[in-house]
């Protein structure tokens, strides 16, 4: 068991996988210098520029080379710097990587990890702050993962690298310095949610940084007598329907909260599935308004899902329940 940051947990997982399997390599801009957030620092010194590959600024070329490498027997880990920049490589992801196994009747596979630093971070503004996970959950053939903690960034990245399908792996930029205990050698099962805490009155389902915001809200609610069951989905596709439905059936109330835009967000899929399966369920969704993310901090704060907004949504769902 070691204490490490979210960033170092991912770096450690990648390094351990590369030591064990010579077909694994990483590719992206400035990786030889450690990556834009330092999450590759020191890896070129250990593995050399043939396996820690720094590229020109062309996301389409980066992704295209990685898809080709995956199809011919290697296991690339692609670093796309910011999730927003991945949009320059959507054709390679969506029309090539996601469909190759199906198009070739199972004779080809694309074991590819696409790391996309995601979310709001230090006034990065509209072109560097987006949470676009719902786009990728819509695409057959893609796996979508969003770790919220160092232990999951270690275990989920290992699972992603071992997966034989293309994985969109979204790490929240505001979590790089988050510290936590990480047991060595473990992996996290893809498609398995984490019940952060059990409760009786309301289920909150979330992922990525919003999981920590929801935990803060759950503490506030507990002080006033409302018991929250908090679920970190962490794997958006496949997602753990059984865990969510069992919890929502138990509490009778479901709140889905995420940093991404509320309209068309993946929270709508979770809420709709629960509504179809559980008669009489009370539910609500929280997410960002459908506007570009502002640069100015006071305006940026109006877009965020906060502990206060989560508390307010839960109080509306549980009127007459608290204190029992």
**What is the mean pLDDT for each group of 10 consecutive residues in the chain (324 residues)?**
95 98 97 92 97 96 97 97 94 96 94 96 90 97 98 98 98 96 94 98 98 98 96 98 98 98 97 97 97 94 95 92 48
Q: Round to whole Å and give the CA distance between 316 and 284.
A: 9
* Residue whose pair of structure tokens reads 């880990």 in the numeric block: 77
Catalytic residue among 128, 172, 212, 258: 128
Q: Round to whole Å and give the CA distance between 161 and 141.
A: 16
* pLDDT at 324 (0 to 100): 39
* Residue whose pair of structure tokens reads 């308004």 in the numeric block: 289
Q: Round to whole Å and give the CA distance between 7 and 177.
A: 7
Residue 234 burial (CB count, 10 A): 27
Q: Span 194-317: which CATH code?
A: 3.40.50.920
Element spanning 267, H or E: helix 266-277
* pLDDT at 323 (0 to 100): 45
Q: What radius of gyration do the chain's Cα atoms show? A: 20
205-232: string of b/e by CB count within 10 Å (b at 16+)?
bbbbbbbbbbbebbeebeeeebbbbbbb
By CB atoms closer than 10 A (0-12, 13-18, 19+), residue 102 is exposed
Q: What is the pTM of this model?
A: 0.95
138 is catalytic: no
The third-level CATH classification (topology) of the domain covering 2-182 is Rossmann fold (3.40.50)
Picking from 266, 241, 170, the residue whose alpha carbon sits closest to that of residue 209 is: 170
Q: Evaluate whether 2-182 and 194-317 have a shared fold.
A: yes
Q: Round to whole Å and give the CA distance between 208 and 259.
A: 9
Output the CA angle 139-256-113, nearest 5 degrees: 35
* pLDDT at 320 (0 to 100): 63
* pLDDT at 321 (0 to 100): 60
Q: Please count the residues of the chain.
A: 324
* pLDDT at 40 (0 to 100): 96
Residue 74's φ and ψ, nearest 5 degrees, are -105, 175
Picking from 63, 131, 74, the residue whose alpha carbon sits closest to that of residue 98 is: 63
Could you tell me the residue ranges of all domains in the chain?
A: 2-182, 194-317
Residue 61 burial (CB count, 10 A): 15
Element spanning 13, H or E: helix 6-20
* pLDDT at 109 (0 to 100): 96
């Amino acid at each position: 068991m070691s204490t490490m940051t979210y960033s170092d947990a991912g770096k450690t997982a990648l390094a351990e996988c590369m030591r064990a399997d010579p077909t694994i390599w990483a590719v992206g801009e400035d990786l030889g210098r450690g990556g834009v957030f330092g999450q590759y620092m020191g890896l070129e010194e250990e593995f050399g520029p043939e396996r820690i590959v720094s590229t020109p600024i062309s996301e389409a070329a980066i992704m295209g080379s990685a898809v080709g490498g995956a199809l011919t027997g290697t296991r690339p880990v692609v670093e796309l710097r910011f999730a927003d920049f991945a949009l320059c490589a959507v054709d390679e992801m969506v029309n090539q990587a996601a469909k190759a196994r199906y198009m070739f009747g199972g004779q080809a596979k694309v074991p590819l990890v696409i790391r996309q630093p995601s979310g709001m971070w230090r006034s990065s503004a509209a072109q560097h702050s987006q949470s676009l996970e719902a786009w990728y959950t819509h695409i057959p053939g893609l796996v979508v993962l969003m770790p919220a903690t160092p232990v999951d960034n270690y275990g989920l990245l290992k699972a992603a690298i071992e997966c034989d399908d293309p994985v969109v792996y979204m790490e929240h930029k505001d979590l790089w310095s988050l510290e936590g205990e990480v047991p060595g050698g473990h992996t996290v099962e893809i498609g398995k949610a984490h019940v952060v805490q059990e409760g009786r009155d309301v289920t909150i389902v979330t992922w990525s940084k919003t999981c920590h915001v929801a935990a803060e809200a759950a503490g506030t609610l507990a002080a006033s007598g409302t018991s929250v069951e908090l679920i970190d989905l962490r794997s958006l596709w496949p997602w753990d329907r059984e865990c969510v439905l069992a919890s929502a059936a138990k509490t009778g109330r479901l709140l889905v909260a995420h940093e991404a835009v509320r309209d068309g967000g993946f929270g709508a899929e979770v809420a709709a599935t629960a509504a179809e399966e559980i008669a009489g369920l009370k539910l609500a969704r929280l997410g960002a308004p459908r506007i570009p993310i502002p640069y100015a901090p006071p305006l940026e704060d109006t877009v965020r899902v906060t502990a206060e907004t989560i508390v307010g949504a839960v109080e509306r769902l549980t009127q007459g329940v608290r204190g029992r």
